[in-house]
Amino acid sequence: MNAYATGAETGVSWADAYTDLQDALHRASQGCGDEIWVAEGIYRPTTTQNPSISFEMVDGIVLYGGFCADANSLSERDYVKYRTYLSGNVDIEGDSDTYIVVNTEPNSAISSNTLLDGFVITHSTEAGIYCNEADLIIQNCVITDNDANGINVYKASPYLFDSIITDNAAVGVYDCNESHITIEGCIISKNAGNGISCRKNAALTVKNTWIHNNGGEGIAFSDAASGSVIRNNTIVYNQGKGIWADVTTPPAVTNCIIWGNENGDISGCGATYSCFDLGYQGTGNIDDDPNFIGDAPDVYNYHLRYGSPCRDAGIGYYPEEYDIDQEPREYGPEIDMGADEIYCTDNNLSDDDVYHPLDWNTDGLVNLYEYNYFARAWLSYDPNDPAFDPNDVRYDPNLSEPNSPSFIDPSRFEDWYEWKYICNIDTDGSSAYQIDLADLELFWNNWTWKACYLSFDRWFYTFGEIDGDTDEMMESQTTASTMSFQSGITPIAVEDQLQNAQEVVEFLEKLWLEDPEIQYQIDTQQWTDFMTQIYNWKATLETQYVIEQINFE
């Protein structure tokens, strides 16, 4: 499958790929092949404005998205870089969306041999995915920007793995009518309603998952069946309760972090070996601050600091399971509470492996994002320096004398209040009241720090903006250099990134040429290597900008 192919549309090569996914699914339904590879692009279930048409899954078919249209093997797939959209936006000029983007017909016997892997599923009016009597596997997908629920499950037992369900207009996952969905290693966030609803004699299993910042309850049970398992999840900052249950047989809740939910932590069920904001009776429960990397409700990084009281505080042994980062579920004497297992491959785990004070946007990297801000703060000066106060013994009149070599231009005060708390890294001696070379040297020493948990590609979806599709913007998704957990930091457009890159390059080139002190402090080869990275970054942005303009035209 390649939306931009111009060949014979036989589906036997990228050159002759189908351009309509419906054609490929129809051929598969006739027994012609059991895998469909889909190249990056936007695929709609119809070219008409009929909202009842969906992509119908075919039993036993493996549907892979995320290919560049010249890949020769599955290992070349990159579903983060080559985003593949299944979009219900069938009326590009207007606002007509299909009811369901990916559907399974009742009685179609969709088994667990059926896989949907590597897609962004968006723009439906009822559900991004509707699992109707279907047990398919959904993994490496993003279900976002649907006008109702992200996923509907009806009399089915699907497996949802390693996926993101976010920014849907109602419930993230709606599980009902004798269903039992298993959700593992997912992020369910910022949906307008509950993160997960379990109703009408349904049950569910949720493990190693973040459920946060949803508009209702994190997980809600109503008239649900027995047998639900809620284990090793991080359920935080939802507008309702973390878990709410109105059932005869409540779910089993173990090893969870349930924290900061506006309407309370938990109601209607018990819990053990879990961490609660407001405290909760039960064996092994604690009420200590879990100590997240991002320590504010709108900073969506719920990895644990090394000193977290949740480390090694859980119970149970699950050697076949993995945490939210696809790392081994137990590292240390006991399993950790929550979805994150504090882990590092160097066997010398410490807080430095997961947290760095210079990682200002908490994306797990000290990189050009931070350097861009540091460059803006360069040479700003604290107007509260006691040397400006005539009543202080440290007063130095030369600082205010324009003809003095020590004169501090008042323009250097302007940026101080905006940047001082993060950019004034060296607070000793002459550097205490200004952003100068001493600060640059400390920043330099920590350049390219990377958190252990960033080995997992899925975070490059999470840190960036996951938009619903538009033809002109599909190729201009935010790159890793601007990714952030923080909702308050708007992802930067490629054109603006390029402008920032040019400003950083000009600043660094001028600094090296005009400040001889820096050439004594930093090895010339190290500086050359550093600048090579900067130039490569700028060149990458220039290429992205050209591609964006071509696709826009």
Mean pLDDT confidence for 118-123:
94
41 touches 84 (CB < 8 A): yes
125 touches 104 (CB < 8 A): no
pLDDT above 50 for 189: yes
DSSP 514-528: H-HHHHHHS-HHHHH
| Domain hosting residue 159, numbered range | 1-170
pLDDT above 70 for 85: yes
Whether 265 is in a domain gets the answer no
pLDDT above 90 for 449: no
Q: How high is the pLDDT of residue 475?
A: 34
- Mean pLDDT over the full length of the chain: 85
Report the residue count for the chain.
553
532 CB-contact burial (10 Å; exposed 0-12 / middle 13-18 / buried 19+): exposed
Q: How high is the pLDDT of residue 95?
A: 63
Whether 110 is in a domain gets the answer yes
Whether 179 is in a domain gets the answer no
Q: How high is the pLDDT of residue 420?
A: 67
83 touches 66 (CB < 8 A): yes
256 touches 274 (CB < 8 A): yes
Local structure of 440: helix, strand or coil:
helix
143 CB-contact burial (10 Å; exposed 0-12 / middle 13-18 / buried 19+): buried
Mean pLDDT confidence for 104-118:
86
pLDDT above 60 for 480: no
pLDDT above 80 for 118: yes
Whether 51 is in a domain gets the answer yes
Q: How high is the pLDDT of residue 81?
A: 84
**Phi/psi at 391 (5° precision):** -90, 0
pLDDT above 70 for 73: yes
**Rounded to whole angstroms, what are the CA distances from 386 to 382, 383, 402?**
10, 9, 18
pLDDT tens for residues 432-447?
A: 998 888 888 788 778 7
Residue 20 is classified by DSSP as -
Whether 48 is in a domain gets the answer yes
Q: Is the dihedral of CA 58, 64, 69, 71 positive or negative?
A: negative
**Rounded to whole angstroms, what are the CA distances from 325 to 210, 240, 300, 457?**
11, 26, 15, 9
Whether 138 is in a domain gets the answer yes
Mean pLDDT confidence for 104-120:
88
User: b/e per residue, 304-329, with b = 16+ CB within 10 A?
Assistant: bbeebbbbbbbeeebeebbbbbebeb
166 touches 142 (CB < 8 A): yes
- Residue 471's pLDDT band (boundaries 50, 70, 90)? very low
CA 43/CA 1 separation, integer angstroms = 10
pLDDT greater at residue 525 or residue 493 = 525
- Residue 295's pLDDT band (boundaries 50, 70, 90)? confident
194 touches 220 (CB < 8 A): yes
List Cβ neighbours of 156 (8 Å cut-off, separation of 6 or more): 104, 131, 132, 133, 134, 135, 179, 181
pLDDT tens for residues 245-285?
A: 999 999 999 999 999 999 999 999 999 999 999 889 999 99
363 touches 451 (CB < 8 A): no
Mean pLDDT confidence for 170-195:
96
| Residue 142 bridge partners (DSSP) | 120, 164
Structure tokens at 440: 């640059």
| Residue 117 bridge partners (DSSP) | 64, 139
Whether 2 is in a domain gets the answer yes
pLDDT above 60 for 462: no
The percentage of the chain sitting over the pLDDT mark of 90, rounded to a whole number, equals 51
Give, in degrees to the nearest 5, the angle at Cα 23 between 21 and 27. 120
Local structure of 146: helix, strand or coil:
coil
pLDDT tens for residues 348-386?
A: 788 999 999 999 888 888 877 787 778 778 888 999 999
Strands 89-91 and 96-103: antiparallel
Strands 96-103 and 55-56: parallel
pLDDT above 50 for 490: no
pLDDT above 70 for 455: no
In the chain, the number of structural domains is 2
Task: Enter the pTM of the model.
Answer: 0.85
Mean pLDDT confidence for 25-38:
90
> Shortest CA distance to 506 belongs to which of 375, 338, 400?
375
pLDDT tens for residues 495-526?
A: 777 777 787 788 788 878 877 767 776 778 87
Residue ending a domain, among 144, 170, 196, is: 170
Whether 101 is in a domain gets the answer yes
338 touches 293 (CB < 8 A): no
pLDDT above 80 for 548: no
CA 265/CA 221 separation, integer angstroms = 14
Question: Lowest mean pLDDT: which of 193-207, 246-260, 395-409?
Answer: 395-409
pLDDT greater at residue 49 or residue 384 = 384
Residue 508 is classified by DSSP as H
Identify which of 115-129, 317-331, 443-457 has the greatest average pLDDT. 115-129
pLDDT greater at residue 501 or residue 28 = 28
Residue ending a domain, among 135, 170, 205, is: 170
- Residue 97's pLDDT band (boundaries 50, 70, 90)? confident
Residue ending a domain, among 128, 151, 170, is: 170
Q: How high is the pLDDT of residue 107?
A: 65
